[in-house]
Amino acid sequence: MPELADWITAVRHSHDRFAALVLPLDAEQVQHPSYADDWSVAQVASHLGSQAEIFGLVLDAGLTGDEPPGGEVFRPLWDKWDNRPAPLQVSESVRVNEEFVSRIENLPESDRTRFKVSFAGREPDLSGLLTLRLAEHALHTWDVAVALDSSAVVAPDAVDLLIDYLPATAAYAGRPAEQARTLAIETVDPIRRFTLVTGPKVLLSHDSGTEPVDLIIPAEELIRLVYGRLDPENSSATLPGHEVIPELRQVFQGF
């Protein structure tokens, strides 16, 4: 079971990776397309910046016992970020993300322990909040990284943590297949086993069975598959069962 310190370290690493990717880019380069549909590199940065502010407000609510902010707060924040010039979207995103991560790192133990909030349909503790943040940040960082280097992968330390929380994401992201099936899936790096049911409800669950599997896939690629980011050009086409992946892309089309 990961410790809170593991989540804090992974969020820090994700931020540092993102900053290293975007800060060297010039005003023209930050307007190049990212992997994310219809978003430039700067727009990905803008999203991560606005979300860093939102997560900071949620952190406030979890420490004070207040209700977290809602759409009436989010919309003006999104508008503020959307209206910034592209280079400023990037530089301000790095700045506010650094502030959020530094704040988490410097929280007293008493605040870490007592944090609790209702957010995104859940009641996460601080580790749970950082799970949500890491998933968003690490995948959007990949959106930028792969636009700069086609061999880019999601950061391994993020993969090691997020793979065990993938069932909840799959239930949210999946679209039932017209012809439902049940698949046994095994991941590598790290090794995990799952059962995936593609309809009438999409369900990914941990599996401790020993029967033959239908698909072997790197854990990093399974995460990207569920998040709608696994294309033929950035996937392993030699592992057993890979022929089912085009079908699964229709189940997980991104969100």
Q: Say which residues have a Cβ less than 8 Å from residue 98's Cβ, sequence separation at least 6.
A: 15, 19
Tens of pLDDT, residues 199-221: 999 999 999 888 899 999 999 99
Q: Locate tokens 């890979």: which residue?
A: 242
What residues contact residue 14 under an 8 Å CB cut-off, 6+ apart?
134, 137, 138, 141, 155, 158
Q: Clarify whether residues 103 and 218 are in a common domain.
A: no
Residue % of the chain over a pLDDT of 90:
85
What pLDDT was estimated at residue 197?
Answer: 97
Write out pLDDT tens, residues 18-71: 999 999 999 999 999 999 989 999 999 999 999 999 999 999 999 998 888 888
Judge if 22 and 129 occupy the same domain. yes
Residue 121: pLDDT band with limits 50, 70, 90: confident
- Residue 76 maps to a domain: yes
Q: For the chain, what is the domain count?
A: 2
Q: Are residues 191 and 139 in the same domain?
A: no
CATH number assigned to the domain comprising residue 236: 3.30.1050.10
User: Helix or strand or coil: residue 209?
Assistant: coil
**What pTM was computed for the model?**
0.95
188 shares its domain with 140: no
Of 125, 152, 179, the domain-final residue:
152
Does 74 lie in the same domain as 142?
Answer: yes
Angstrom distance (rounded) from CA 104 to CA 56:
9
Q: Final residue of a domain: which of 118, 152, 186?
A: 152
Q: How many CB atoms lie within 10 A of CB 72?
A: 7
Same domain, residue pair 144 and 171: no
Answer yes or no: do 238 and 182 share one domain.
Answer: yes
Is residue 86 located within the same domain as residue 179?
A: no
Domain range for residue 66? 4-152
Q: Do residues 156 and 148 lie in contact, with contact meaning Cβ atoms separated by under 8 Å?
A: no
User: At 94, which CATH number?
Assistant: 1.20.120.450
